[in-house]
Amino acid sequence: MDIEQYIKDIKIKFPKIIDAEVVNTKRLMIYIPKSSLLQIAEYLFKYLAYRYIIVTAMDSKEGYEIIYHFSDDSSGWIVNLNVMLDRDKPEIESLTPVVYGVEWIEREIMDLLGITFLNHPKPERFLFAEDWPEGKYPLRRDYVEEE
Amino acid sequence: MSAGSCNNCDIEILDCLTPKFDIERFGMKLVGSIRHADVLLVTGIVTRKLLPRIKEVYDQAPKPIVVIAIGACACTGGMFKDSYTFKGPLDTVIPVDAYVPGCPPKPEAMLAGVVKFLNKK
Amino acid sequence: MGKKTLVPLGPYHPLLEEPEFFKLYCDGEIVKEVIWETGYNHRGIEKLCQSKTFEQVFYVVERICGICSTSHPFAYANAVESIPGVEIPERAKYIRSIVGELERVHSHLLWVGLAGHFLGYNTVFMWAWKYREPVLDMFEIITGNRNSYAMFTIGGVRRDISPEQAAQLLKVLDEVERKTTLLVGAVMDDPVIHARLKGVGILTAEDIHDFGAVGPTARASGVDIDVRRDDPYAAYDMIDWKVITANDGDVFAKAEVRLLEMYESISIIKQCLEALKKTEAGDIKVKVKEIPPGIGIGHAEAPRGEVFHFVKSDGGNSPVRHKIRAPSFTCIPTFRRSCVGGTISDAAIATAAVDPCYCCTERMSHVYDYTTGKHIMSAAELIKLSQEKTKNLKAKLKV
């Protein structure tokens, strides 16, 4: 895969892309605003027929970072969409209309980080016990163990 | 019964059934329901979500029932003892009669543990 | 140890008292909906990894799942070693592949046994697990443990394989290959197994894509993906082997893929053992001083499919974030397509077909009435139903 050309092409196609960089061998990170997520994800998943791998979410210095991982199995490249959410407003559109399989990982992220996925088909507790207290998100930096 | 395990111990327990180890020689076999059991083997750390369920199973068991904690997780919590879902170790939830440590304990160790305990009685 | 006797045991499942995991809502005989409830095995591993050193994480991830115990360290190693861009010694690559493929063999044998049990062929269960034993013994000889091998370290592997161990392994592989052929013959040509497995639990290529399903589950639907070939790691691009696919997407196809993969795995191991002779004994790891800031994305082909690890380092001793995705996470939701519309008696085998890893995700199902929500049957009863169907089929086919 001619990565230089690929980056050029995708930036032209989606001018709202903030940046695209090769973060490791055969690993491309595309930084996008959350408003562009569905459009670009649809391009990768439906048009280019990449394989959906999973979604990683973390509490980074700049805010809540969500990375959507897609695999281009024909070349071995993993193309990642990186969205940064404001700490004060951790919400984003659910990707379920585009990628059917994200339903469960979005629920897991809701549990672990307290991010809201708007229009999620089943925004229910996924990992935690019924008696797990509301508002406690173990992967947040400010998470404190209960006594 | 798995209380939140990685299943290494569970697979080794299943291994006890197979011809190489064959626990039926010792007069032991696996039964379909807790109500017919004399011995309860428990693996895993006791996760928060499973805690009520374990107590429920123990209550359903006909007494006297022998409870054996299999593996490092059931004995002490192992490497998961600092986890936010750790609600064990097992002997803080239900009374435990014997401990078979290991990660996982080999089938021979489990058999030895059970036999040793039964002989002591 | 006494005389070895083959004792056929009744239709129990030792893990009966597992927590609810799948709720199958049924209307009469037909499954209308599958709800996946999980979290019982949630042990907080991702957070735990943040408080362990990069090296210690190997021992944590090994215990995510007892069956695919090498696959997680493999993917993690691929991820974390890519951050400083470490190139491990060739000998280490071969050893890693050997352990990885041995694991595939033992895992597929385990699956064959369980599938046999669900179908009511308890002799298959006994046989498959009996033939697994020499493989586990080899693990013990090479790595020191039957499960949880602790073979991986940053920069290579922790133990070498001696020529004597290699010779022993070759003998065991020959035996496993012979026994596998017996098993394959007995199982795959059986008309009752055909009747039970063909056309059951079908997943189309589109289903696979929608869920991001991987591994034999995907390959049985004609989706030609395998991390070992698509994004090669360890020794996989240095030896000759092929990806096994099938086209029907039903349980039979999934069984076929797994059985044939065993032969490929054995061939890979043999080639690696041969290649070991040409590398310097003892050259099994390089020293890695530290993990610099950066991102590592690594994956490996576990017996169940792609295991994916994402590691973020800020130059410290521990990962700042470690995301782990087991293959079953994307394969299990496919039940929505493969089980819905099928009968309850097929549910046990259709769910087993994706080889859900107990602990990467739990496995037991319960059946509820679709209209009233009333609990109808438990996992054990579901399995018994499946076994009864086989009995009835056998009588019908006069086998």
Judged by a CB distance cut-off of 8 A, whether residue C63 touches chain B is yes
For residue C184, being part of any structural domain is answered with: yes
The residue among C385 and C260 whose pLDDT is bigger is C260
HEC secondary structure over B9-78: HHHHHHHCCCCCCCHHHHCCCCCCCHHHCCEEEEECCCECCCHHHHHHHHHHCCCCCEEEEEHHHHHHCH
Omega before residue C134 within 30° of 0, cis: no
CATH value at residue C236: 1.10.645.10
What pLDDT, on a 0 to 100 scale, did the predictor assign at position C370? 67
Whole-Å CA distances, C256 to C13, C78, C261: 24, 29, 8
Ramachandran quadrant class, B117 (left: phi over 0; alpha: psi -120 to 50; beta: rest) = alpha
CA pair distance A70, C294, nearest whole angstrom: 19
For residue C377, being part of any structural domain is answered with: no
Q: Which range (B18-22, B71-75, C71-75, C168-172) has the least confidence? A: B18-22
Domain count, chain C: 1
For residue A64, being part of any structural domain is answered with: yes
For residue B51, being part of any structural domain is answered with: yes
Kindly state the tokens that stand for C277.
Answer: 């002779």
Q: Per-residue pLDDT tens for A96-145? A: 999 999 999 999 999 889 999 999 999 988 888 778 888 889 888 888 87
A138: which chain B residues are within 8 Å (Cβ-Cβ)? 84
The residue among B6 and A44 whose pLDDT is bigger is A44
* Chains in contact with chain B (at least 3 beta-carbon pairs closer than 8 A): A, C
Per residue in B69-85, is it b (16+ CB within 10 Å) or e — as a string? bbbbbbbbbbbbeebbb
Judged by a CB distance cut-off of 8 A, whether residue C398 touches chain B is no
The residue among C137 and C225 whose pLDDT is bigger is C225
Q: Which range (A29-43, B17-31, C175-189) has the least confidence? A: B17-31
What pLDDT, on a 0 to 100 scale, did the predictor assign at position B31? 67
A30 is in which domain, residue-wise? Answer: 3-93
pLDDT over 50 at C20, yes or no: no
pLDDT band at C373 (very low <50, low <70, confident <90, very high): low
Average pLDDT value for residue range C69-84 = 93
For residue C151, being part of any structural domain is answered with: yes
A132: which chain C residues are within 8 Å (Cβ-Cβ)? none
What pLDDT, on a 0 to 100 scale, did the predictor assign at position C10? 23
Q: Residue type at C300?
A: A
Whole-Å CA distances, C294 to A12, C33, C80, C316: 27, 43, 9, 11
For residue C395, being part of any structural domain is answered with: no
The residue among A95 and C380 whose pLDDT is bigger is A95
For residue C138, being part of any structural domain is answered with: yes
- Would you say B16 and B113 are in contact if contact means Cβ atoms under 8 Å apart? no
- Would you say C364 and C348 are in contact if contact means Cβ atoms under 8 Å apart? no
What pLDDT, on a 0 to 100 scale, did the predictor assign at position A18? 96
Rounded to 5°, angle at Cα B69 from B108 and A131 = 145
The residue among C65 and A46 whose pLDDT is bigger is A46
- Give the residues across from A82 on adjacent strands: A31, A67
Judged by a CB distance cut-off of 8 A, whether residue C144 touches chain B is no
What pLDDT, on a 0 to 100 scale, did the predictor assign at position B9? 74
Q: Residue type at C50?
A: Q
Judged by a CB distance cut-off of 8 A, whether residue B4 touches chain C is yes
CA pair distance B8, B71, nearest whole angstrom: 9
Q: Per-residue pLDDT tens for A14-23? A: 999 999 999 9
What pLDDT tens digit does each residue of chain B (121 aa) get? 766 667 677 777 777 766 677 666 766 666 666 777 777 888 877 777 778 878 887 888 888 888 888 888 888 888 777 777 777 788 888 888 888 888 888 888 888 887 787 777 6
B47: which chain A residues are within 8 Å (Cβ-Cβ)? 129
B48: which chain A residues are within 8 Å (Cβ-Cβ)? 128-129, 131-132
- Would you say C109 and C135 are in contact if contact means Cβ atoms under 8 Å apart? yes
The residue among C45 and C201 whose pLDDT is bigger is C201
> How does DSSP classify residue A34?
G
The residue among C215 and C48 whose pLDDT is bigger is C215
What pLDDT, on a 0 to 100 scale, did the predictor assign at position A119? 95
Whole-Å CA distances, A118 to A34, A95, A103, A107: 12, 9, 12, 11
For residue A107, being part of any structural domain is answered with: no
For residue B2, being part of any structural domain is answered with: no
CATH value at residue A33: 3.30.460.80
Domain count, chain B: 1
What pLDDT, on a 0 to 100 scale, did the predictor assign at position C117? 82
- What does pLDDT average to over chain C? 84
The proportion of chain C whose per-residue pLDDT surpasses 70, expressed as a percent, equals 87
For B52, the closest chain A residue by CA position comes to A129
pLDDT band at A94 (very low <50, low <70, confident <90, very high): very high
Average pLDDT value for residue range C234-247 = 95
Domain count, chain A: 1
ipTM for this model: 0.94
The residue among C16 and C86 whose pLDDT is bigger is C86
pLDDT over 90 at C122, yes or no: no
Average pLDDT value for residue range C319-337 = 89
What pLDDT, on a 0 to 100 scale, did the predictor assign at position A46? 95
For residue A29, being part of any structural domain is answered with: yes
For residue A75, being part of any structural domain is answered with: yes
C125 is in which domain, residue-wise? Answer: 53-329
Contact B51 A145 (CB under 8 A): no
pLDDT over 90 at C217, yes or no: yes
Q: Which range (C97-111, C199-213, C254-268, C384-398) has the least confidence? A: C384-398
B30 is in which domain, residue-wise? Answer: 8-120
What pLDDT, on a 0 to 100 scale, did the predictor assign at position A146? 65
Would you call A95 helix, strand, or coil by DSSP?
A: coil
Q: Which range (A69-73, B64-68, C108-112) has the least confidence? A: B64-68
- Would you say C289 and A17 are in contact if contact means Cβ atoms under 8 Å apart? no
Instruction: Give the one of C38, C209, C321 whose C-beta lies nearest to A127's C-beta.
Output: C38
CATH value at residue B39: 3.40.50.12280
The residue among A38 and A134 whose pLDDT is bigger is A38
pTM recorded for the entire structure? 0.88
Q: Per-residue pLDDT tens for C23-63? A: 778 888 888 888 777 766 677 788 888 889 999 999 888 88
Contact A103 C333 (CB under 8 A): yes
